[in-house]
Structures are given as C-alpha cells and as structure tokens.
Chain A
C-alpha cells in the first residue's frame, strides 16, 4: 500500500483539525420521542436493541444534549431547573435559589477567590430569575428554559458553577470519593471536574448529585443503555433518599448523557384525535385464525401506525392480566402513543405538576401490553390486531423498522 503523500497527509491533518461535529445541534434539544432512539439501535447488537425498545416504552420522551464534552453536566443542570419549573412553586424556587447561592461558601472554603467564581453564581441566579418570571407569567411550557440553556455563555457559566461546587464538595469530603479514583483527588478535580469540556464520569456525577441535587429533595436516576450482561434497563438511583419522589432521569450511553421522561409525566395531555383500540383477552383465538391484517404491508404503510412492545424476560406472551388499568381504559392513553401524533419539532404540551405519589412506569420484568393505535379515519373505525407471533423478540426489530414514521 502506498504511503500517503505529504500533500495528502497535510490535507487530512487539516480536515481533522477543522472537524467540528454536530456544529448546528442545539446544546439542549426540545423533547423528542424515545422511539427514535429505539430505531437507531434497531439493527444494532440484540442486547442494545432490546434495551432501547424497553426504554422507548418506559420513557417515551427524551431530550438530547449536544456532545460537546459538557453533556452530562448540562443534562443534570437542565433537568434540575426543568423540574423546579414543573413544580411551579415560587416559594420552593426561592428556597432553592438561596440554597444554591449559599453553596458558594464551599468555594470559599477551598480557597477560591470570590472574584473568580462570582460571575458564575450570578449566571446561575439569572436562570432562577427567568424561571421565577416564567412561573409568574404562566408560561405553558419550558421553551424559555431551553432557550436559556442554548445561550452558550449562560449555559456554560451555570455548568462551570456546578463544576466548581462539585470539585469543592469532593475536596471537602474526600473520604466519600477518593477510594473510587485512580488518581489523587486534587488532581482528579483539576483534570476531570474543573476543566472546561471534560465529560462527567460516574464519580463526578455522584458528587454533583450529592452537592447540588440531594439538597433539593429531587432524586436522580441513571439508565444505562450499554451492552451490559443483564438485558433489563435498571435505573441506578444516585440519591437514595427521595423525600418528594420527584426524579430526574438520565440516559447514559457510553460517553454521553441525555435526559429521559417517564410515561407518567406526560399522561394528562388532552388527546387531539380519537383512538380506537382493539384489545382482546383471548389471544389463542387469534393464533388459530390469524387475521389477514396481521403485519400486512399495506397496513404498515398507514401513516402513524405504530406498535410499542417490550419483551419481559421469561414472559414472552402478553395477557390481559398484565395490562395496567391505565392503559386498558379507552381514555387513558399511553403517552408514547399520544405523542406519536405530535410532530417532534412542535413545542410540546405544558408539563403538568409532577404527581407527588410518583410511581415508576411498569418495570421491564413485567410484560407490558401490546397496543396498536390508529386515528379513526372513517366512521366505521378500523380495528387492527397483531398476531402474538410477531411479538417474538427476533421479530421485534423488523417490526420497528417497517414502521412508516421512520425518518
């Protein structure tokens, strides 16, 4: 093989030097359907594909962070402010502002001069003020916060404050962290926490939760979408004490973090179209007389038709017994399906107050109902059923791939 000529080499060097990936991606995206994550992995390793489709059911919506080396930090900071806004409690917001500002005392304790960090505290307080104003003005959704976090300076200044707090907290509580580090704590803080554009790792994330999130009473859980042994997505609770039950969910893929939204949070949306369901308690009958509609290619070309399915380990069959009451009711629609009818680019509906009695969506170990929804296009209402055979895991990927709403 010929070696590259110096000219070519130089050109490649230049290309690599100038390469800026995802230049126009926003720092924080609007809410998006998690089904697109499932589709991204549909052809990937089976473990990943299975986990990704589970994810799309339990957490139908997500928010993508730009991969600029700050994504984990930004996801936590945005999730924190978004949760505060969703509560719409000015007193609590005020209380949090005071708490977050007073945390700057930690920076003094580790010898940071006020004039170096003051501007970052101010930038963070500014986001609090905007959140306060948004609550007062009755803003319907968190678009203002997305905008604020897409202003690079303010956004990065808040992250810098959180980085400095994390670093100071670790230095003041070394016993909690130093055993998990492969290098001296001081050096770890200087190279992995304080330095701009260094991605957060597990130790740093735990410390960030401990110093910033824990005191707010919010929980923070991490769902890891990786090729780990177990084929279920088990959330890691980073804040075991969750007094108010409100949880920020992070999706962690190797080297990247995004935000996730569980089904419960978006369930109070008024449906924009009528749905008709076909749910049967008698699958065996279907087996015997497979419907001609089953996975018919014409059927699959109907826009907006989708199927959500999750495969519980060891329980491949779905029975009525596993259908949750919420999903069985014709007026309660799983939000994955509801959102199917809304454009991902559309500004999403207002976040309802997060229910205080927060229940995690159905665990993957419990079989979820298979539901097919179709907007009613004619008065007689088309009913569609899926043969249970298609729910075999090995068919799930082709099912997802053949769905017509795929980009």
Chain B
C-alpha cells in the first residue's frame, strides 16, 4: 500500500509542477515507469555568483514518501557550496526529519514533514544557493572560503558555473 500511496502523491506533485512550475525550476520523473526517481533543473539565482548557471540534480524518493523525505544530489559536479557535499549531495534541514541530523546541529529551521513537497524542497535549495548556512557545513573547505575569502569563493563559483555550461 505504502508505495502506491507514494506513487499517487508523487504523480500529483509532478502534475502540479508541470502545469504551474515555480520560476527557475523544472522537475519530474526521469521515466514515467519509475515515479521514485526524478531529475530537477535549478537555475542559479540572480544576483549571486550562481547566476546564469543551470544545475541538474537527482531526487530519490523512499517507498514511504511523503512520511520520509527524498534525498537530493547535484549531478555533474560544479556546485561549490558550503551545504553541498563534494559528491553533490545536498545537506539542507528540510531534507532531514528531527533526530536525523548528520551534523548533530539543532536547527531552528524547517524540517521535513509530510506536508512539505518537492516544490518546497527545490525552492529551499534555490534560496540555499543564494544564502549558504555555514553553521553546519557539508563542504568545510567551501564554508571556510565563503566565510574568510568571499571574493575567492565567488570567483570559484563563477568559474565552476562557466565550466558547467561548457564555456
């Protein structure tokens, strides 16, 4: 039962996202045969060093979605960011239920609850790109650079974005 419920819910979310997509975000299942594996494209928010970039990410949903959150990972590299692990996995509070914090850090910020949605996750990730949270960094080097050598950080991000676009 669980997985059919999850499938139904994911289909609804997919339908909503495709009829009424938030600005700068596209997402959907890679193949309609598997509703539990999605790909998303997020545009780099304007006014940040990520501007102009388009970042591809994969979302993997558990069978008991929406009771448990999906995982999200940027694919193809190129996201130099305090809250993104070097392998691309996104570390953001909305993707963790309480008591499941890989960094043992008590956020006051939003946690996963079953009434969150793919759309809310992607919007949160977009604002995370604009405003890193350096209190529980997933990429310590990036966090240090962001905190101490902001100009260098921004230049590195811009370089990565251009590389990602094949320029």
Residues of A whose CB lies within 8 Å of any CB of B are: 17, 69, 112, 115-117, 119-120, 122-123, 152-154, 156-157, 160, 164, 190-191, 194-198
Contact A196 B9 (CB under 8 A): no
Beta-carbon contacts of B87-125 to A below 8 Å, as 1s and 0s?
Answer: 000000000011110100000101111110100000000
Q: List 23 A-B contacts (CB under 8 A).
A: A69-B98, A116-B9, A116-B114, A116-B115, A116-B117, A117-B115, A120-B114, A122-B5, A123-B5, A152-B64, A153-B1, A156-B67, A157-B67, A190-B113, A191-B108, A194-B113, A195-B97, A195-B112, A196-B67, A196-B68, A196-B98, A196-B112, A198-B98
Which A residues lie within 8 Å of B115 (CB)?
Answer: 112, 116-117, 164, 194
Bound complex: CA A123 to CA B114 (Å)? 14
Which A residues lie within 8 Å of B108 (CB)?
Answer: 191
Residues of B whose CB lies within 8 Å of any CB of A are: 1-2, 5, 8-9, 12-13, 16, 64, 66-68, 97-100, 102, 108, 110-115, 117
Bound complex: CA A191 to CA B108 (Å)? 8
Q: What are the nearest 10 A-B pairs in CB distance?
A: A153-B2, A115-B12, A194-B113, A195-B113, A119-B5, A195-B111, A196-B97, A160-B114, A156-B67, A116-B115
Which A residues lie within 8 Å of B117 (CB)?
Answer: 116
B119 to chain A, nearest CB (A): 11
Identify whether the interface residues of A are mostly helix, strand, loop, or mixed: helix
Which A residues lie within 8 Å of B110 (CB)?
Answer: 190
Q: How many A-B residue pairs have CB under 8 A?
A: 59
Identify whether the interface residues of B are mostly helix, strand, loop, or mixed: loop
Identify the closest chain B residue to A159 (Cβ): B67
Q: A17-B102, A196-B67, A197-B99 are in contact. Are A119 and B111 (CB under 8 A)?
A: no
Which A residues lie within 8 Å of B100 (CB)?
Answer: 197
Identify the closest chain A residue to B111 (Cβ): A195
Q: A115-B12, A120-B114, A156-B67 are in contact. Are A195 and B98 (CB under 8 A)?
A: yes
Q: A117-B115, A153-B1, A195-B111 are in contact. Are A160 and B97 (CB under 8 A)?
A: no
Contact A69 B8 (CB under 8 A): no
Which B residues lie within 8 Å of A157 (CB)?
Answer: 5, 67
Contact A153 B9 (CB under 8 A): no
Identify the closest chain B residue to A13 (Cβ): B104
Which B residues lie within 8 Å of A196 (CB)?
Answer: 67-68, 97-98, 111-114
Contact B5 A153 (CB under 8 A): yes
